[in-house]
Structure 1
Amino acid sequence: MQASSPFKEQIIEMKIKTLIVDDEPFAIEVIEGYLANFPEISVTATCANAIQAFQLLQKSKVDLMFLDVKMPGLSGTELLRSLKNPPKVIFTTAFQDYAVEGFDLNAVDYLLKPIPFDRFLKAMDKVFDQFKLQQSIIHQSDPVLSGRSSESYLYLRVDRKMMKVNVNDIYWIESLKDYIKVVLKEKVLISKQKIRLLDDLLPESQFVRIHRSFIVSLDKVESYHSYSVEINGKELPIGRYYKAACQRRFFSPTT
């Protein structure tokens, strides 16, 4: 009999499609057994190595991935860096030395094997918090009377209230650990959430992640270099893991 979810009070209006990637069959069994306690989770596939996972992710979208770090061939961290639009990730490994690298890649959590169930519950709490927050940040479109295309809005929690923000007014977004700073033309907003969530929600055609701590609006960029961009007189760094993506967005030849 399936146990009821310890997080049933948190309303998750979707099934969280989940992928487990590990070269140890027993490790996959343990995680599947733990996840059976959460009706919000749907394990759509398991993979024995990162290459299989990469191929699957080219065809299918998943929301959450449990990813072993050390695997033959391609490591879990190498897989994550290779993905253009990665899902939320919880790293699993027997090696504590990889923890810093895992968090540097914006992982939701990092679990050391053998994974105790109480520690697993804490990781799932973080997962549900992020999905719950994602659902609270609502995209909506308002028709513009001038006949231009509709404008997109985000609702951000600022000072205990939801504030409507036109995405066209955003200059850049900066990560401040558990908070983000949203820089607009006339003001700056501080909201308690992770920059990763905004990276998932903002239109890819209008925004680009240039650094683990910065997302910028493409049409607000005044100048750019291989190591930085300038917006409104402010120089923002391009991180080494984001240089390739920035090269494609900023340095593509004009037609």
Structure 2
Amino acid sequence: MKIKTLIVDDEPFALEVIEKYLENFPEITLVAKCVNAIQAFQMLQRNKIDLLFLDVKMPGLTGTELLRSLKNPPKVIFTTAFHDYAVEGFELNAVDYLLKPIPFDRFLKAMDKVFDQLKLQQSVIHQQEVLPLGRSAENFLYLRVDRKMVKVNVNDIYWIESLKDYIKVVLKEKVLISKQKISLLDDLLPEDKFVRIHRSFIVSLDKVDSYHSYAVEIGGKELPIGRHYKADCQRRFFSPSS
């Protein structure tokens, strides 16, 4: 997870300190440093920013005024030398409020809060990407495909293939590509109907045409059985009751 970050402060030293602290976090991608809120506003219109370090008291537009002007603000950590703005900062749902000079241990605590919130946010997004609806009764899923939710009957699935951050869902008449991890589908699909045969493949048991110790054939295609999945495949395919 790369966290695109913007630092806004009219003090060059403060910009330097935060940038130096951020070098300790490989997840952070520093997009830019801005010396005033107007410059930051323009940068936010052109870039998707996940995390904003925002000085409160700046000439012209203040940090809190900038934040109030944003329709979809990123996660914000306020930085300031003044205690007076703390209440207003938290009213604006800031992740944290750091007083200058900022000690590194206090900065770490703020970053922990950021990571926790972003992980939670990402978890919610993943749950929305694949929605199991009436799985035991109606037996279908919704997959996000090309910015829309597509209904898929699990009985129509032949196999699912992992493509890094995406999955390929092979159906009888078509193939769907969805931005999703195969591990989530592994959890959602009915265990009595599907089996994970490889880190990159899940197959429908009733669509398998043939199998042997190192591969299965399904829909005219041979798919490998991974070394770490052989025991489960042995149980599912090669048991006397199969």
TM-score relative to the length of structure 2: 0.54
After superposition, the Cα gap between the structure-2 partners of 1:48 and 1:135, relative to the gap in structure 1 and judged at 3 Å, is same
Q: Higher Cα Rg: structure 1 or 2?
A: 2
Match of 1:41 in 2: 28
Q: Deviations over 1:118-151 (max 9, x none)?
A: 1001000101111111222222245999xxx748
Corresponding residue SS for 2:18: helix
User: Which residue of 2 is the match for residue 243 of structure 1?
Assistant: none
Contact 1:143–1:151, Cα closer than 8 Å, also in 2: no
CA–CA separation in structure 2 for the residues paired with 1:75 and 1:151: 44
Q: Which moved more, 1:135-144 or 1:86-95?
A: 135-144
Query: Does the CA-based 8 Å contact 1:142-1:151 persist in structure 2?
Result: no
Q: Secondary structure at the match of 1:61?
A: coil
Paired residue for 1:136, among 123, 129, 132? Answer: 123
RMSD: 2.2
**Contact 1:143-1:150 at 8 Å conserved across structures:** no
Residue in structure 2 matching 1:120, options 91, 107, 125? 107
Identity over the aligned pairs, expressed in percent? 79
Whether 1:77 and 2:64 are equivalent positions in the alignment is yes
Identify which of structures 1 and 2 has the higher relative contact order when contacts are C-alpha pairs closer than 8 Å and 6+ apart: 1
Paired residue secondary structure (2:54): strand
Secondary structure of the structure 2 residue equivalent to 1:62: coil
CA displacement, residues 213-243 of structure 1 (integer Å, 9 cap, x when unaligned): xxxxxxxxxxxxxxxxxxxxxxxxxxxxxxx
1:104-119 aligned within 5 A: 104-119=91-106
| Residue deviations 1:56-103 (CA, integer Å, cap 9, x gap) | 111111000000000000000000000011100000000000000000
Q: Which residue of the partner structure matches residue 7 of structure 2?
A: 20
Query: Would you tell me which structure has more helix in proportion to its own residues?
Result: 2
Which aligned runs of 4 or more in structure 1 are off by greater than 6 angstroms? none
State the alpha-carbon separation in 1 of the partners of residues 150 and 96 from structure 2: 35
Q: Which residue of 2 aligns with 1:89?
A: 76
Secondary structure class of the residue paired with 1:84 = coil
Q: Does 1:59 align with 2:46?
A: yes
SS at match of 1:130: helix
Superposition TM-score, scaled by structure 1 size: 0.51
Given that residues 142 and 150 in structure 1 are in contact (C-alpha distance below 8 angstroms), is that contact kept between their aligned partners in structure 2?
Answer: no
Taking the aligned partners of 2:102 and 2:130, their CA distance within structure 1 comes to 44
Alpha-carbon distance change, 143 to 121 in structure 1, aligned in 2, over 3 angstroms: closer
Say how many residue pairs are matched. Answer: 137
Residues 191-226 of structure 1, C-alpha deviations (whole Å, 9 max, x = no match): xxxxxxxxxxxxxxxxxxxxxxxxxxxxxxxxxxxx
